[in-house]
Structure 1
Amino acid sequence: MAATQRINVGVALAAACATALSGCTTGASRPQQGARKAAGAPAPGSGVRLIGDGSTAFTGAQPHLPRAERLKPGQRPPQFVVFSWDGAGEDSQKLFSHFRKIAKANNATMTYFLSGVYMLPEEKRYLYKPPQHTPGSSEIGFNDENGIKNTAEQVRMAWLEGNEIGTHFNGHFCGNEGGVGQWSVDEWKDEIAQAKAFVKSWKTNAGLKEEPSLPFDYDKELIGARTPCLEGQKNFMQAARDLGFRYDTSGVNEQVWPKKKDGLWDLSMQLVPFPGHTYEQLTMDYNFMVNQSGTQTQGDPDKFEEWGNQMRDGLLQGFQRAYDGNRAPLIIGNHFESWNGGTYMRAVQEVVERVCNQPDVRCVSFHQLVDWLDAQDPQVLERLRTLKVGQAPAEGWESLTAAPPAPAPKGVPGAPPVTP
C-alpha cells in the first residue's frame, strides 16, 4: 500500500454512530479534553459493546442490509450483480472511497475483501507469521499509520452503508514455492485467524487508539472470501466450512445459477464474452489485462481506451444475456489498481452506472446474495439450475418458480393412503 495523505476524521464518528444510537456527537460538539473518555468508546446507554482493544465493536444489526424474501410463485428472479474488490484498502489513489460513492449514487452495495496486512504497520510486520514463509514476509507489503487510518475509515463507512467486509487474507502468496495452493487445511485456518487478528487489533498495532472502532464483530461479519490468484480453493473451502463461512468465490464458472459445494455456496467468478475474440474471458480486471498487455501493468497508452472498452462491453454483454436469459447472478471481481492507465476502473464504473439502475436489477454484496439464496425454495433453485447460459425458460418463469401442487386431501382419489 502506498502512503496516503492524512484525512481528518472527527473522533465523533465512533462506532456508536453506526446505527444512529444515542450519545453520538460531531467533531464540532466534542467535549473538552479531559472531560471525555478515549475516542471510540461508547456513550453511556448507547448499546455499543467494544470488542478487545476497541478496534471493533458490536453495534447491532448492519444498517441497509435488506431482509431476504422468497420468490413468489411464478415470479421471475431479479437479476443480481455482485461487484467485489480483492485486497481492498485506501491508498493515495483513493479508489476505495471513490467506488463507495459510485455505489451509493447507483443504488448498489458491494463486497470489499480486506487484506489483513493492510491493517498492520510495516514496523510490526514480524507479527505476521505466514504459512511456509519467514515471519514478516508479504508479497503485497504492509501499511503505514496513515494508510491504516484511512483504510479503517473506508471500511467503517462501507459497512455502515450496507456493504460487506470479507477477507483476502494476508501476504498474497501464489505459485509453487510455499504459495497458498500448497497450504494445508490447518495452515489455512492459521492464515484466517491472523487476518482476523490484524483487523481486531489495528488500533493497538498502529498506535491509533483515539480512532473510532470498526462497527462490527469481525468474527460474525466474516462469512466469505476469495483466495489469492484463485489458488488453494479445495483446502481453503474445508477450513472455511469448519469456521462457519457461508460462501467462496475463488473459482471459475459459467453464467449459471449457483449451487453449494462442500457445504459453501459456490459463487465463483464467471466467463463472459471477450469482444473481438472467439473465446470468453473471466469477469476480473486482472484477467482482461493479462490478455491485453500481458504481465505489463502499463502497456501501450494508445490502446488504453480500447482495452477498457473491451472489458466494459464484455461485462455488459454477459449482463445482458443473463438479464434476458436465465437470470443467473453475475459475479465480477476487481482490484483497486490503475493498471493500463486506470482503464479498468473506468470500465467497472461505467458498468455500475449502466446496469444497477435498470428495472429488476439488484447490485448487491455476496452477503446479500447468499441471504437471498438461503431464503429460496430448494426445489425452485434446482429448477433454475437446469437453465443453460443465456437460456430463458421456454414455457415461461411460471414453469420454474411456481409452487409445487398442494397434496390432495386425505381420502380422495390419488391421495396418499391413510396411515392408521
Structure 2
Amino acid sequence: MAVAAGVAAALVAGLAGCSGSGDPAAGAGGPKRVGAPKSVVRLIGDGSTAYTGAQPGLSKPERLKPGQKPPQFVVFSWDGAGEDSQKLFSHFRKVGKKHGATMTYFLSGVYMLPQEKAKLYVPPGHAPGRSDIGFNDTEGIRATVRELRGAWQEGNEIGTHFNGHFCGPQSGVGTWSVEDWKSEIAQAKAFVKQWKTNAGLTTEKPLPFDYETELIGARTPCLEGRDNFVRAASELGWRYDTSGVNNQVWPGKDQGLWDLSLQMIPVPGRAFETLSMDYNFLVNQSGTTKGAPSMHQFWGNQFRDGMIQAFERAYNGNRAPLIIGNHFESWNGGTYMRAIEETIANVCGRSEVRCVSFRQLADWLDAQDPAVLAKLRTLKVGEAPKAGWTAFLAAQPSGAPASGAASPAVPAVPAGPGARRQAG
C-alpha cells in the first residue's frame, strides 16, 4: 500500500484538510448488545459479500429520559483502512476488543483491487488505472478481507475513503462534480463487491455484509470536495459525513446527513488548536513523516494529551461526541499509533463513556427527541449546564427546531498555525 506516498505529496504541496467501555455493555449503564442470527447466509453477486443477518456487537440505541445526562461518545476512525506489513489493522482490532471499543474503518476501494487490474478503476479527471495511493496485491487483499470480516463481526463499521485519494487544485477531489462523486462511490462499492473475481480468490470466505446497506458514511480525501460529496451522499440516502471541521459541540444535520466532522482540539503547550487527527498534529510538529527521533516521544505525548484534554472538556462539560481520525501509519517512529492506543485505554473504560462507530453514533442521534438535541446544541465548547443536567433536560424546550435544522452558529476558531484544514 502507498498511503504514505500520498501523504508525502500532500506535505510538499501544503494541501488543506484529510483525513466502550471495558465490557460488552458499551459503557456503564449502557444498553446490552444484541447478537446476530447465525443461520442466515445469502451470497451476493460473485460471493465476495453476503447477507448474514443483523450485525453482532451493536447496542440498541435508547432515547434519553427527561433530565438524563447524555453518555460521552467517542469515535475513533481510520482513513484508508487496510492490512499491510505493519499489521496495524489487526493490532487495533485487538485494542478495541480489549477496551470494549468499536470503531469505524474507512476502506480505500483500491486496496481491494490488484495492480494488474488497475485499469478497472476510471477515476474522475484522471486516466484509467491512476491512483495516488497505488493498488494492492493478492496477499494484501486476502489479509485486508480477513481483517474487514473480523472487524465487522466484532461490531465495527466498514465505511469508505473512496479510491485514488486525489488531492489539490489540479483534478483533486475538490474539483469533482456531484456526478463525479457518484461514479467514485459506485466504483468503491464495485471493488468491494467483486474482490473475489478481480483478485482470483474465489475460494475465500465472503465479507459478511451487504456493502450497499453497510455503506452509510465517509471521509473525503484531504477533507476536500465536501460540498458536492454531501450532495451526492444525500441523494444516495447516506446518513453522515465526517469530512468537515467543527468545534466540540453537538452535531446537527447538513442536507439530511449528520455532520460528524473532525474537531478542533488543544495542542498542549501551544496557543492554538488543530484538527483531531494524527496527520494534523504531525504537520504542526515535524512537517514530515520522518522527523527527529529525539522528538518522537514528545510529539506522541502531545497528541495523546491533546486528545485527552479534548475528552475531559467534553466529559465534564457539554458531553458533545469526540471525533478522532487516524491512519494506519508509522509516522515519526509510530508515535501517533502509541498515542491513540494510550488514549483508548484511558477513556474507553470510564463511567458513562461509549467508544463507538459513526454508525452507532448516528443510530443514537436518530433515536433522540429533536428538541433535546436542539437544546444540547446550545451548549458551547466545554460548557456544562449551569443548573446541572437534571434541570437542563428536565422538560422539553418549546418551539425547538427539528433535528435536521441548521445548528446554532459555532464560535469561530481563533486564527493560528494550527487552524489550517490539512490532513492525510
Shorter-normalised TM-score: what interval? Answer: 0.7 to 0.9
2:283 corresponds to which of 273, 276, 290: 290
Large movers: runs of 4+ above 6 Å: none
- 1:221 aligned partner, one-letter code: E
RMSD of equivalent CA atoms: 1.2
1:168 deviation in Å?
0.2
1:19 deviation in Å?
4.6
> Does the CA contact (< 8 Å) of 2:277 and 2:325 recur in 1?
yes
Measure the CA separation in 2 of the matches of 1:193 and 1:405: 42
Tell whether 2:131 aligns with 1:165: no
Tell whether 2:378 aligns with 1:386: yes
Q: Structure 2: which 5+ residue stretches go unaligned? A: 3-34, 399-424
1:152 corresponds to which of 136, 139, 145: 145
Higher relative contact order (CA 8 A, sep 6+): 2
> Does the CA contact (< 8 Å) of 2:375 and 2:397 recur in 1?
no
1:366 deviation in Å?
0.2
1:399 deviation in Å?
3.0
Aligned to 1:324, the other structure's residue is in SS state helix
1:186 corresponds to which of 166, 170, 179: 179
**What CA deviation, in whole Å up to 9, does each residue of 1:348-389 have, x standing for no partner?**
000000000000000000000000000000000000000000
Measure the CA separation in 2 of the matches of 1:177 and 1:280: 29
Measure the CA separation in 2 of the matches of 1:222 and 1:359: 30
1:89 corresponds to which of 78, 82, 102: 82
Matches within 5 A, 1:204-243: 204-243=197-236
1:70 corresponds to which of 54, 57, 63: 63
TM-score (norm: length of structure 2): 0.85
2:111 corresponds to which of 99, 113, 118: 118
2:352 corresponds to which of 356, 360, 370: 360
Aligned to 1:157, the other structure's residue is in SS state helix
Measure the CA separation in 1 of the matches of 2:395 and 2:65: 8
> Does the CA contact (< 8 Å) of 1:116 and 1:169 recur in 2?
yes
Tell whether 2:253 aligns with 1:269: no
Larger Rg: 1
**What CA deviation, in whole Å up to 9, does each residue of 1:237-268 have, x standing for no partner?**
00001111100000111000000011100000
Query: Taking structure 1 as reference, are residues 48 and 324 closer, same or farther at Cα in structure 2, changes over 3 Å only?
Result: same
> Does the CA contact (< 8 Å) of 2:160 and 2:217 recur in 1?
yes
> Does the CA contact (< 8 Å) of 2:372 and 2:396 recur in 1?
no
Aligned length: 366
1:405 deviation in Å?
8.9
Identity between Structure 1 and Structure 2 (%):
71
Measure the CA separation in 2 of the matches of 1:359 and 1:177: 48
- 2:350 aligned partner, one-letter code: Q
Aligned to 2:355, the other structure's residue is in SS state strand
Query: Taking structure 1 as reference, are residues 405 and 130 closer, same or farther at Cα in structure 2, changes over 3 Å only?
Result: closer
1:20 deviation in Å?
6.1
Measure the CA separation in 1 of the matches of 2:369 and 2:397: 14
1:395 deviation in Å?
1.3
Matches within 5 A, 1:285-364: 285-294=278-287, 296-364=288-356
Q: Structure 1: which 5+ residue stretches go unaligned? A: 3-17, 22-45, 407-420
> Does the CA contact (< 8 Å) of 2:371 and 2:397 recur in 1?
no
1:65 deviation in Å?
1.1
1:81 deviation in Å?
0.2
1:404 deviation in Å?
3.0
Query: Taking structure 1 as reference, are residues 280 and 126 closer, same or farther at Cα in structure 2, changes over 3 Å only?
Result: same
**What CA deviation, in whole Å up to 9, does each residue of 1:41-97 have, x standing for no partner?**
xxxxx4311000000000010001111000011100000000000000000000000
> Does the CA contact (< 8 Å) of 1:273 and 1:315 recur in 2?
yes
What is aligned with 1:24? none
- 2:171 aligned partner, one-letter code: G
- 1:55 aligned partner, one-letter code: S
> Does the CA contact (< 8 Å) of 2:37 and 2:54 recur in 1?
no
Matches within 5 A, 1:249-268: 249-268=242-261
1:99 corresponds to which of 89, 92, 104: 92
Aligned to 2:346, the other structure's residue is in SS state helix
1:403 deviation in Å?
3.7
What is aligned with 1:54? 47
> Does the CA contact (< 8 Å) of 1:86 and 1:226 recur in 2?
yes
